[in-house]
Structure 1
Amino acid sequence: MKKQLLSGLIVLVIFFGCATPKKQDAASMVERIPEVEALLKQMTLEEKVGQMAQLTLDALTVGANHFHTEEPMRLDMDLVRRAIVDYNLGSVLNTASTRARTVEEWHTIVSQIQDVAMNETRLGIPVIYGIDAIHGVTYTAGATFFPQQIGQAATFNPELVRRAAEITAYETRASSLPWNFSPVLDIGRDPRFPRMWETFGEDVYLTKVLGVAMVEGYEGDDIGSPYRVASCPKHFLGYSTPLSGKDRTPALIPEIELRERHIPPFKAAIEAGAHTIMLNSGLINGVPVHASYELITELLKEELGFTGLVVTDWADIDNLHNRDRVASSPKEAVKLAINAGVDMSMIPYTLDFCDYLIELVEEGEVPMSRIDDAVRRILNTKFKLGLFETPVTHYEDYPLFGSDEFIAEAIKTAQESMTLLKNEENILPLSNNSRVLVAGPNANSMRALNGGWSYTWQGSNADEFHEGYSTILDAIRDKIGSANVIFREGVRYDNNAAYWVDEAFDIQGAVRAARNVDYIILALGENSYCEKPGDLHDLTLSRNQIDLAKALAETGKPIILVLNQGRPRIIREIEPLVSGIINAYLPGNYGGIAVADVIFGDYNPNGKLPFTYPMYVNTLVTYDHKPSEHQERMAGMYDYESDFAIQFPFGFGLSYTSFEYSNLSVSSDVLRPNGSINISVDVKNTGDRQGQEVVQLYTSTHFASITPDVRRLRRFEKIALEPGETKTVSFSIAPEDISFINAQNKRVTEPGAFDVLIDDLKATVNYTE
């Protein structure tokens, strides 16, 4: 086992051999808060180790049995006291039975836990409670749900993302919960990945900007505020690009790629003040991240300067033994993870972790200095959150919870996420006196609109909480009147099977109903899913849904396709058959309203794709690919399929108005070290209605010491223009903005020419040292 571990570590030493040299020991960088230091001096080994343990709520309830708590849910106080009094438990997470609770229930749960922690233990250290509130407070009934991250990314609007996070923080604290396992800063570069919808898409810069906005929205200037929470960017590092495309499977990522694509969003979040970080559950180049000293301590804590709390993902220390087999026993798994730099273990069910870790310290296998460093980070976080003074907040102090003000923000975010991908002969918007057939398995489902992490882990019970919300069908009926709407699913999801399985329910019934309408609104896509259950073998839209679309197309009635999905499913067969396409992503509880507003023209769509929409399952190429990935076919010689065949490009999205770009100007055609250049462009609304446009600035390097990407997004700004109005949009870029990771794994800016690209305009600039 020691030889096996050694060879794994040698791989990572080579892997990070060219990393920036560490400047100081990770533990010495952590802030010394006098109150925390005084507490540390009083703590026994057992009390310290207990702070490093995190149990799921299901382990503390009556009838506790891995996701199956007895209802009505109530704490088993004997289990609570055993965990907190006997084992000095430091943290609790999750909800019971993965089910949403009311703010009143949350207040009771957290109050009972904190009462034991504060009043029945020797030192009275509060518990820190964590939750996955990833698009609103996932597990609180009545909370304001926003679009999932991929939809928020489509807005290209950092202010909307920041505001959504502020509201989520407010409502999370209203639920007595101070710690949010969000944002996801994994890069969504593989549409096969079942958690792609939890990301901000494929681009590094967009993820950095929106990730920082979300961290700032959650944390504000002071996480001790009763309206703010500690954020937890995840999953450090490289989680979203496994070789197979399936969740928690191995990734092969060279250091040049890690440093170019995966590290920058986390680095930006750390610089923005993120207080905690969650680790990647998977393996990179054969080494589990949870056992990697090089990734957790040398890279994250020392090189990137992260001084906060590092928490595992679900059961991932156990996985070092049970799944990944780098540890010969559960006890050795604890040793590897803690010595690698893990501060808190999301256990999540038993307290064996504490027994093992105490033994390891007593045996000299884990140094006491490592324990003190971990506990200092944990206690610092609790202290900064104000938990020692206010361990529980009260829902009555949060009058805006679920308010009209918050709902308006959620509606606005859902509207701005709507991405119009096709509008043949300007078929959209439709008239309000149109007669329509609404069809498809996503037409009448709140579950599909919300996706996973919605009331339950898999989102499977979202329809139980649907009262007061509108499905796509409901919203269309409200918009044009029930008399003008016929509903036939044609295909429906089998909720007792895998999460994306559907069945041909009544395709011919839908076809017959189409005879009496002017248009067909066809809502297709995916049912809700989350994490591993969302793995699939084929990215193509299901055969039943394709058959439904083809059958309806044969009626000759124009079809508006609404895609309600977490990842871009292949629609190549049916795209030519439809006149309009709206990508709605997973827009949340107000997504039905947003879809109807766009279809009938009450809202002018302005969302942009945060990923490249693939055309084929074997052509999954991002916009920032290398030139060799875009080779045209050679007519008369070869007919190879190596061209850049995509359905829709990154950053694409139509409007009901039109925009004209002109007068691209650069302040200098030379960029020098420590300097910058200003870039401006005029944008005019040449249509007849107000609209918003995302102005996107890209650069394209001519030549470099490694093959450059064909282009990279460097700046963007969203503007609103009245008909006939022109605005000048200005950007500034510096040498750092055109830098890249070279073959020696160093970030450099090399002399040479690069193009500045906005829309179809181009200017050339030379970087000269």
Structure 2
Amino acid sequence: MTDSQALASAAEGHHDRIEQLLSAMSREEKLAQLQIRYHPDPERAKELVRGGIGSVFWPGNVPQTNELQRIAREETAHGIPLLMGLDVIHGIRTIFPIPLASAASFDPAVAETDARVSAEEARSGGINLTFAPMIDVSRDPRWGRVAEGFGEDTYLTTVLGTAKVRGYQGESLAAPTSIAACAKHFVAYGQGEGGRDYNAVDTSWYRLRNVYLEPFRAVVEAGVGSVMASLNSVSGRPMHANPELLTGVLKEEWGFDGPVVGDADAVLNLVNHGVAEDEHDALVLSLASGLDIEMGGHVVAADGTTSILPGELTDERIDDAVRRVLQLKVRLGLFENPYVDAAAELDAPTQQSRSAALRAAERSIVLLKNEGGLLPVKPAQRKVLVVGPYADSTDHNGAWVMSFGFETTSTINAALRDLLPDSEITSCEGATFFGSNPALQEEARAAAADKDFIIVTVGEPSALSGEASSRSDLRLPGDQEALIHAIADTGVPFAVVLANGRPLVTSDWIARAPAVLEAWHLGTEAPAAIANVLSGAVNPAGRLPMSFPRASGQIPIYYDHENTGRPASVGGTLDQEEIDIGVVGPNNLDDRFTSKYRDLELGPEFEFGHGLSYTDFQHAELTVEPRSLALDALRDGELFTVSVAVSNIGDRQGDEVVQLYVRDAVATLARPVRQLRGFSRVALEAGASENVTFSVGWEDLGFWHGTERDGDFAAEPGTFELHVGPRLDATTELTVEVTR
């Protein structure tokens, strides 16, 4: 028997097993499979499993996990094993950088390694399903959950989200080192009004197709195990009751055959949304719309009864939902091996996993400013002060880390002392995350008086980012800005290190800080990674996955916006003379009457893709072949090949992140001013060069047309700009033609 024949035979056997189970199950037994629930009391949890529940949250240890699986296999009518779910977002024992930080690496291997290590640790404890990755395109940093995603760009989110699915699921879901991924939140959760969690979304099909749906389409194509519905409404329709998207797009159009999972009690939230009268109405509405697993355990009670009457859901819909759940369990190999070996559980980080986390953290750090090459710390700077609330803090894990996650036991201060034994390193608090204490700034000034260099460690604590952590003011909390000004007033050279879970507003102090390092929440190995970059042992090369606004009132601000009919060329001003100018005749055609804020410069403080290095790179002339392609040839798979030679002309090794952006010069619908369509992180020794090549094709030049659901994806003939460089403000442009 050939390999393909063996696979076909196995698939047929799995199908037969599922259909036999379906034919043997009662309606109540089927509905019991369509829920996931957690109960902290182990005995009550056992009762739930004996009652036929199909999925539970991980109980917390291997013996309890195995016992629940044993009960499901041996003490229920059909012996169906359990899905064991947990939010394994960026680690379970070994904590990796938050996903937003890993996106800053512009390296899919960072996201994939994070997920692979996480899957190995999780599956060893009995977890077989994670509610990750979050692939919501997030353009409002007021939303705390930007920490959990990959930023503002659709393409970067798609690439890294797909990489993370590969990491979680491995080559086979049945492997003892794999878990099923659950792509969330379907869909447009990152577009909530005002950046508020769980809030309403009103968006067009044009934007849904071209921005928010695309990462989900890609992970479905990549074989993601499950998808989670989002808590928001879209254009008035809550997603847990949205058949057009859950069934029409996700299942029918894309062919997704896994289960759609509800978010925590989100089915009951349909009552609050005002589209369901009560719990019963909400359950029927959500399951009829395409939800397959309700998170909360309200479908079937502990005694096996359900409020859902025959005829309220069709037998076909119930069977379809149960079939999806059973199929995922088959793919995970749970019928053959539902148990795990307690002796083999990875209940603490290994040296290998910590090394992987350290490398991920180092690759995620972004050098925002470095005037005069102030960083790295120089050998002559022997007396160093580390100041700020993060100087001696161990709070580096960030949002979405469970209590059993391994916290860092070091600090930035301690890590620098280990790395720079010849320097005299001291520390003081200087400021707090909450409230104001001027005495701390006075203490910092005094401590700085005789120092050669100061490292100011500020940011937002982990508790201020993540779910239910929206912020209206994105400045540094507490009196941290006062600390930066106090240090700047001393005249001693200093650098600022930011540890945070979202883009921050830095306008109050950024002009006074000669060097700034964006370190994010980097996880278990954060202090060592930050110290390695500050000391120069590692050369930073991260790039921003989200724009940093100049003010909270400027949000949302993102690089790939559609152009207005009146784009501004200069920023606004509150100059009295300009303000006094009235609208007289053609005066409303000058630059004063363009799209901008009267009190802000143009653009963000730091834009998407920004990042510096300790070395210098040079990009040679950009080339592209061919210069034109016929539309039919492009559709049939012919490509433009874009090449540039990149050289490290500095005196130390470094990574350059080469970015490719495209712009459709003239189209039938307004298109983004630029769109990322390729990137490559290249490691170069001093004096070395490498040729970087990108392919640009139909997927890169096309877009979804139409303002209704049934739009089509196509490229149009015309001129396309190709922009290649290390940052948006440092690209070289060439044009290509797509002919009819």
TM-score normalised by structure 1 residue count = 0.86
Select the residue among 312, 315, 323 that pairs with 1:365.
312
Q: Which amino acid aligns with 2:410?
A: S
Q: Which amino acid aligns with 2:738?
A: Y
Deviation at 1:401, TM superposition (A): 6.0
Select the residue among 277, 292, 306 that pairs with 1:328.
277
Match of 1:648 in 2: 606
Deviation at 1:60, TM superposition (A): 4.2
- Contact 1:247–1:531 (CA<8 Å) still a contact in 2? no
Q: What secondary structure is seen at the aligned counterpart in 2 of 1:692?
A: strand
Deviation at 1:31, TM superposition (A): 11
Match of 2:642 in 1: 679
Deviation at 1:532, TM superposition (A): 4.5
Summarize deviations over 1:619-640 as a string: whole Å, max 9, x none.
Answer: 2311111232851238977666
Distance 1:81 1:724 in 2: 64
Deviation at 1:361, TM superposition (A): 3.6
Q: What secondary structure is seen at the aligned counterpart in 2 of 1:491?
A: coil
Select the residue among 605, 620, 632 that pairs with 1:662.
620
Whether 1:114 aligns to 2:77 is no
Point out where structure 1 has 5 or more consecutive residues left out of the alignment: 1-28, 62-74, 96-100, 138-142, 495-500
Deviation at 1:477, TM superposition (A): 2.1
Q: Which amino acid aligns with 1:201?
A: G
1:340-351 superposed matches below 5 A: 340-347=289-296
Summarize deviations over 1:581-607 as a string: whole Å, max 9, x none.
Answer: 110111111111111111110000011
Summarize deviations over 1:294-351 as a string: whole Å, max 9, x none.
Answer: 1111111111111001100000011111x21211111000010000011001115x66
Q: Summarize the Cα distance change of 1:298–1:335 in structure 2 as closer, same or farther, 3 Å threshold.
A: same
Distance 1:503 1:318 in 2: 44
Match of 1:626 in 2: 562
1:574-585 superposed matches below 5 A: 574-585=509-520
Q: Which amino acid aligns with 1:641?
A: Y
Match of 1:699 in 2: 662
Greater Cα shift, 253-262 or 157-166: 157-166
Q: Summarize the Cα distance change of 1:691–1:152 in structure 2 as closer, same or farther, 3 Å threshold.
A: same
Select the residue among 473, 478, 482 that pairs with 2:418.
478
Summarize deviations over 1:514-556 as a string: whole Å, max 9, x none.
Answer: 1121122111111113544312221222251111111121111
Q: Summarize the Cα distance change of 1:716–1:532 in structure 2 as closer, same or farther, 3 Å threshold.
A: closer
Greater Cα shift, 743-752 or 611-620: 743-752
Summarize deviations over 1:341-388 as a string: whole Å, max 9, x none.
Answer: 11001115x6666889833242x1111211111111111111111111
Whether 1:762 aligns to 2:733 is yes
Point out where structure 2 has 5 or more consecutive residues left out of the alignment: 1-10, 579-589, 726-730
- Contact 1:54–1:92 (CA<8 Å) still a contact in 2? yes
Match of 2:27 in 1: 45
Match of 1:144 in 2: 94
Summarize deviations over 1:113-151 as a string: whole Å, max 9, x none.
Answer: 1122122112111111001111111xxxxx211101011
Q: What secondary structure is seen at the aligned counterpart in 2 of 1:534?
A: coil
Q: Summarize the Cα distance change of 1:149–1:595 in structure 2 as closer, same or farther, 3 Å threshold.
A: same
Distance 1:114 1:315 in 2: 24
- Contact 1:233–1:278 (CA<8 Å) still a contact in 2? yes
Deviation at 1:692, TM superposition (A): 0.8
- Contact 1:331–1:357 (CA<8 Å) still a contact in 2? no
Structure 1 segments, 4+ long, off by >4 Å, are: 29-32, 350-357, 398-401, 501-505, 634-640
Whether 1:573 aligns to 2:476 is no
Match of 1:386 in 2: 333
Match of 1:20 in 2: none
Deviation at 1:190, TM superposition (A): 1.1
Deviation at 1:735, TM superposition (A): 2.2
Distance 1:55 1:37 in 2: 25
Match of 2:287 in 1: 338
Distance 1:488 1:398 in 2: 40
Distance 2:346 2:189 in 1: 38
Whether 1:604 aligns to 2:539 is yes
Q: What secondary structure is seen at the aligned counterpart in 1 of 2:448?
A: helix
Match of 2:671 in 1: 708
Distance 1:35 1:357 in 2: 26
Whether 1:185 aligns to 2:135 is yes
- Contact 1:334–1:357 (CA<8 Å) still a contact in 2? no
Distance 2:510 2:419 in 1: 26
Distance 1:505 1:300 in 2: 57
Summarize deviations over 1:203-229 as a string: whole Å, max 9, x none.
Answer: 111111111111111112210000111
Select the residue among 687, 694, 704 that pairs with 1:724.
687
- Contact 1:31–1:307 (CA<8 Å) still a contact in 2? no
Whether 1:442 aligns to 2:390 is yes
Whether 1:736 aligns to 2:699 is yes
Q: Which amino acid aligns with 2:432?
A: R
Whether 1:527 aligns to 2:461 is yes
Summarize deviations over 1:427-478 as a string: whole Å, max 9, x none.
Answer: 011125532221222222222x11111234xxxx97xx54x63222221222
Summarize deviations over 1:624-662 as a string: whole Å, max 9, x none.
Answer: 112328512389776663663311121111111111111
Q: Summarize the Cα distance change of 1:659–1:650 in structure 2 as closer, same or farther, 3 Å threshold.
A: same
- Contact 1:30–1:308 (CA<8 Å) still a contact in 2? no
Select the residue among 736, 747, 753 that pairs with 2:713.
747
Q: What secondary structure is seen at the aligned counterpart in 1 of 2:673?
A: coil
- Contact 2:87–2:130 (CA<8 Å) still a contact in 1? yes
Aligned residues: 692
Deviation at 1:169, TM superposition (A): 0.8
